Structure 1
Amino acid sequence: MSAVNFQKLPSVLVRGGDQSVTLRCDQDNSQNYYMFWYRHPAGSGKMELVAFSAGQDTASIEAPFNKTKYTMTRPEVLRTSLQIHSPEAADSAVYYCASSLGATSEAYFGAGTKLTVLEDDLYVTPPTVRILPPSKEIRKDKEGNVKGRTLVCMASGFYPDHVNMTWESDNIGKVSTDAAATREDKYYKITSRLTVSNKDWIEAKTKFKCIVNFFDGTKHIIKDDVFTIKPPLIPDMTRGKYVKITQNAKLSYTVLIVKSCLYAALVCFLVWKLKGKREKPTK
């Protein structure tokens, strides 16, 4: 039988030197006698088993995590907690709770709790959010059709990296967000890209909102920016008609230039012929 593991705190911020921090987890299957605590350090590709319990009131801490640093408690079959004493920067990681019927049975994981131990010389700083408009260059596919336009939302200058980015729009397109925030000097930045089809893009006054949810340790701070497609310059004209007219104008201008070049070439040829006749010696 499967189980659901509840980790009530998705994010936790503490200062280095605090006495301790406690992570809690509940499960809903009384037959799952085993419960585990794993951690996934940032930038690491592996899960590390920190502690496990084979039943109520029993727990073991795995090497190399010593018992003075981590303490696991299991007061009930359905409940456990992991206490980290004197947290420091090396303890920053995502901690996962899991449960199973036995030591070798399939384990069911919770959503994880991201723990960040704040650096002494830095303060919690919310992000600045800005949407960058798409490039003016119109890209086309192999068939000559206009590709979608891409908006880029950038959140920068924040610390720590407890953020979540989403887009809000009537015509939502394909979203691609960085897997994790990157650090430049002391602060973090992260970007998300929204690709909108050309059909949706030509609808005037459509708004696209980028929303960044930042956790400051006690509450969630919402920061956002809005990009609005500008209406056409001529009233009562759709953006599609405006684009069609400008494309036709470009084509007409190109034809005019070609005709002008041909006319200039013809004039030069006639002048050259006339000059040749004048310079021809008479008998």
Structure 2
Amino acid sequence: MSLMALWKKFTRFCFSLSAVNFQQLPSVFVKVGDQSVTLWCDQDNNQNYYMFWYRHPADSGKMELVAYSVGKDAAAIEAPFSKTKYTLTRPEVLRTSLQIHSPEAADSAVYYCASSLAQSEAYFGAGTKLTVLDAEVQPPTVKILEPSKKECKDKKGKKKKTLVCVASDFYPDHVSVSWTRNGQNITDDIQVSTDAAATAKKDGKNYKITSRLMVPIKDWVEPNINFTCTVSFFNGKSNIKKNTTYTSTFISETNILNCSLYYIKITQNAKISYTVLILKSCLYAALVCFLVWKLQVGPETSMLVLIVELLMLRDFF
């Protein structure tokens, strides 16, 4: 490898170590029929002359390159996207914008800003979620579902109960879900499991999202512990928070006891059934050995009779 190639590789590696900070609005709302919408992006590395705009539609698993710029006042729209639909501007090295003309519902997506040196790794911002509204904004209804009385343990055998928070009938899908225990945030990913994204009903105008909280038994049987589910909903101007609370009581201790007795009964029944099966198998094997011995010592017994007896024994067992 030549000295120049080594130098390029070294400088590329050094620049890749320096992170790039981006500023993008997290959410933007527009309505079908609006003239246009503009998404802005700022980054803080003036060595990154290349800037890009990607989009990630909700119904697609792939990133799509929409537009790019190789420097100040330079812009290009990537095929197959239309130049009449999208306009990229680059008034400064550290700033770019993407304008979408006559936005439609199909333009709803997360739009990512990125930057890089020439032929080097690109850094991405957090993205702007663009929603083109074709219905009225509707905040969610939030409720907590109680766990099953028979629930005792998780897959690893740890005793627990599960609360399920359901947020439904909201539009659009700009929501996040969080849990607290007596006002303290629960950030343990093992305890909290939330849907990756809200799902829409067939009409596409009502969304639903669920989040599950696994509560250890020691918290469940202790009275007056408040478990609160909070849903943060962005209505286009500000975040609206909807929450509901479930309070533990002594009655739950009885449910845990009944649950434990239920599983003990299942375990005992399984042991009895397994023991009976082993005894029947041993008895069947002993009878088969006896019939074989009988055939050997009594030549007057025919093979046909032996087969019939074996079939009868099989049906009996």
Query: Hey, what does 2:111 align to over in structure 1?
Result: 95
Query: Hey, what does 1:183 align to over in structure 2?
Result: 200
Report deviation, 1:141. Answer: 6.5
Whichever residue aligns with residue 214 of structure 1, its letter is F
Q: Which runs of 4+ in 1 moved over 6 A?
A: none
> In proportion to residue count, which structure has more strand?
1
CA distance in structure 2 between the aligned counterparts of 1:139 and 1:90, rounded to whole angstroms: 45
CA distance in structure 2 between the aligned counterparts of 1:142 and 1:45, rounded to whole angstroms: 30
Deviations 1:82-108 (CA, angstroms, capped at 9, x unpaired): 110110011110000000011x21011
Q: 8 Å contact 2:54–2:112 — kept in the other structure?
A: yes
In the alignment, is residue 73 of structure 1 matched against residue 89 of structure 2? Answer: yes
Unaligned runs of 5+ in 1: 234-238, 255-283
Structure 1 residues 158 and 89: alpha-carbon distance in aligned structure 2, compared to 1, 3 A threshold:
same
Query: Hey, what does 2:175 align to over in structure 1?
Result: 163
CA distance in structure 1 between the aligned counterparts of 2:113 and 2:241, rounded to whole angstroms: 28
Q: 8 Å contact 1:33–1:55 — kept in the other structure?
A: yes
Indicate which of 117, 121, 137 corresponds to 1:124: 137
> In proportion to residue count, which structure has more helix?
2
| TM-score normalised by L of structure 1 | 0.78
CA distance in structure 2 between the aligned counterparts of 1:223 and 1:141, rounded to whole angstroms: 29
Larger deviation: 15-24 or 200-209?
A: 200-209
CA distance in structure 2 between the aligned counterparts of 1:10 and 1:20, rounded to whole angstroms: 18
If asked which structure has higher relative contact order (CA below 8 Å, sep 6+), I would say: 1
Whichever residue aligns with residue 45 of structure 2, its letter is N
In the alignment, is residue 62 of structure 1 matched against residue 62 of structure 2? Answer: no
Whichever residue aligns with residue 176 of structure 2, its letter is N
Unaligned runs of 5+ in 2: 1-14, 266-317
Query: Hey, what does 1:152 align to over in structure 2?
Result: 164
CA distance in structure 1 between the aligned counterparts of 2:239 and 2:255, rounded to whole angstroms: 42
Report deviation, 1:146. Answer: 6.1
What do you get for the CA RMSD once the two structures are aligned? 2.3
Query: Hey, what does 1:277 align to over in structure 2?
Result: none
Query: Hey, what does 1:278 align to over in structure 2?
Result: none
In the alignment, is residue 221 of structure 1 matched against residue 255 of structure 2? Answer: no
Indicate which of 199, 220, 223 corresponds to 1:204: 223
Query: Hey, what does 2:66 align to over in structure 1?
Result: 50
| TM-score normalised by L of structure 2 | 0.70
